[in-house]
């Protein structure tokens, strides 16, 4: 992931140092098959607001003296604290049984999380193979994301808000419009053949995609800004949405091999 545009000093080297030192203790425990970091370490950017997200893969029934989920604050040495401007770093850990993960169906958010990872321990390469297998974005899945994103974005940015306007609830109309923006972003990720990020990162990542329709940034700002809760503002936002949506429509139709009027019936 491109991390340009994030403010603050990148302290990724500190996070990797802390993570590897903690992993050294864990990998000695019986039953630990692999240790993987997601989140900031996986993306290659960490700042004072970042935690270390660590997954500990264990064999079936293994007990390593930790709860299934937890956190620990790791204090820094005085030199590191002065150098990086933080006194401690939090590690959030999750213990996952390898055999269970192998059989489970991973949802889109989990696939995205693991598509950006850093392996700290994997002596048998089991975890590397697991992640590679589970994070594949199949063509069938991608086409569904395209169809769902195009149809649902239009539904929630055009159809549903109009219903709420007639019902007399302009707040609900604007709220539904915001959900439609998320579905529009889903369409963009699928066109770029990449997983849809978790909610906190979706907008930020979308602005850094390789393919975006002309005027995307300007129209996105128009969609996001709400000067007042009025029908006029809703219409202005809708016009910005439709400029982007109409650009994407023929591209999506070509990708899935169907017209929007056809596939919207099955969504």
Q: Looking at the domain 12-134, which fold is it? A: Beta Polymerase; domain 2 (3.30.460)
| φ, ψ at 88 (rounded to 5°) | -155, 160
Kindly report the pTM of this predicted structure.
0.85
Residue 120 CB partners (closer than 8 Å, separation 6+): 19, 20, 23, 35, 36, 37, 54
Summary mean pLDDT of the chain: 93
Map residue 63 onto helix, strand or coil.
coil
Q: Which two tokens stand for residue 131?
A: 């992640």
Q: Is the pLDDT of residue 52 over 60?
A: yes
Distance between CA atoms of residues 23 and 96, nearest Å: 15
Averaged pLDDT, 129-142: 95
Q: Is the pLDDT of residue 1 over 60?
A: no
pLDDT tens for each residue of 163-215: 999 999 999 999 999 999 999 999 999 999 999 999 989 999 999 999 999 99
Residue 47's Cα: distance from chain center in Å?
18
9 or 152, greater pLDDT: 152
Distance between CA atoms of residues 29 and 66, nearest Å: 11
Q: Which two tokens stand for residue 5?
A: 């545009």
Nearest to 114 by CA among 26, 104, 144: 104
| Percent of the residues in the chain that have a pLDDT greater than 90, as a whole number | 85
Predicted pLDDT of residue 3: 52
Averaged pLDDT, 45-70: 93
6 or 96, greater pLDDT: 96
**Residue 146 CB neighbours (<10 A):** 24
Predicted pLDDT of residue 72: 95
Q: Give the model's confidence band at 158: pLDDT under 50 very low, under 70 low, under 90 confident, else very high.
A: very high
Predicted pLDDT of residue 264: 81
Averaged pLDDT, 38-52: 90
Q: What share of the chain is helix, strand, coil (3-state, %, to 5)?
A: 55, 15, 30
Predicted pLDDT of residue 7: 58
CA distances from 185 to 75, 83, 248 (A): 39, 38, 11
Map residue 214 onto helix, strand or coil.
coil
Q: Give the model's confidence band at 266: pLDDT under 50 very low, under 70 low, under 90 confident, else very high.
A: confident
Averaged pLDDT, 141-145: 95
Given CA atoms 204, 205, 210, 216 in this order, what sign does their dihedral have?
negative
Distance between CA atoms of residues 75 and 130, nearest Å: 33
| Angle, helix 231-256 to helix 170-191, in steps of 10 degrees | 30
One DSSP character per residue, 153-188 reads: HHIIIIIHHHHHHHHT-HHHHHHHHHHHHHHHHHHH
Averaged pLDDT, 60-71: 93
Q: Give the model's confidence band at 263: pLDDT under 50 very low, under 70 low, under 90 confident, else very high.
A: confident
What residue spans define the domains of the chain?
A: 12-134, 139-263
């Amino acid at each position: 992931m491109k991390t340009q545009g994030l403010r603050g000093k990148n302290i990724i080297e500190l996070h990797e140092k802390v993570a590897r030192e903690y992993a050294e203790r864990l990998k000695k425990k019986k039953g630990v098959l692999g240790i993987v970091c997601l989140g900031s370490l996986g993306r290659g950017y960490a700042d004072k607001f970042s935690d270390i997200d660590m997954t500990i893969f264990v064999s079936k029934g293994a007990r390593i003296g930790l709860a299934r989920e937890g956190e620990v604050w790791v204090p820094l040495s005085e030199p590191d604290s002065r150098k990086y401007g933080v006194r401690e770093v939090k590690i959030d850990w999750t213990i996952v049984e390898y055999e269970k993960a192998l059989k489970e169906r991973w949802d889109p958010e989990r696939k995205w999380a693991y598509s950006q990872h850093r392996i700290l321990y994997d002596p048998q390469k089991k975890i590397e193979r697991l992640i590679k297998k589970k994070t594949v974005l199949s063509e069938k899945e991608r086409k569904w994301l395209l169809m769902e994103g195009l149809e649902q974005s239009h539904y929630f940015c055009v159809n549903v808000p109009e219903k709420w306007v007639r019902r007399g609830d302009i707040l609900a109309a604007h709220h539904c419009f915001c959900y439609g923006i998320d579905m529009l972003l889903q369409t963009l990720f699928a066109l770029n053949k990449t997983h849809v990020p978790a909610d906190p990162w979706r907008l930020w990542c979308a602005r850094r995609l390789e393919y975006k329709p002309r005027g995307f940034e300007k129209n996105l700002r128009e969609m996001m800004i709400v000067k007042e809760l009025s029908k006029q503002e809703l219409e202005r936002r809708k016009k910005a949405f439709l400029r982007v949506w109409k650009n994407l429509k023929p591209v999506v139709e070509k990708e899935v091999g169907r017209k929007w009027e056809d596939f919207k019936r099955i969504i």
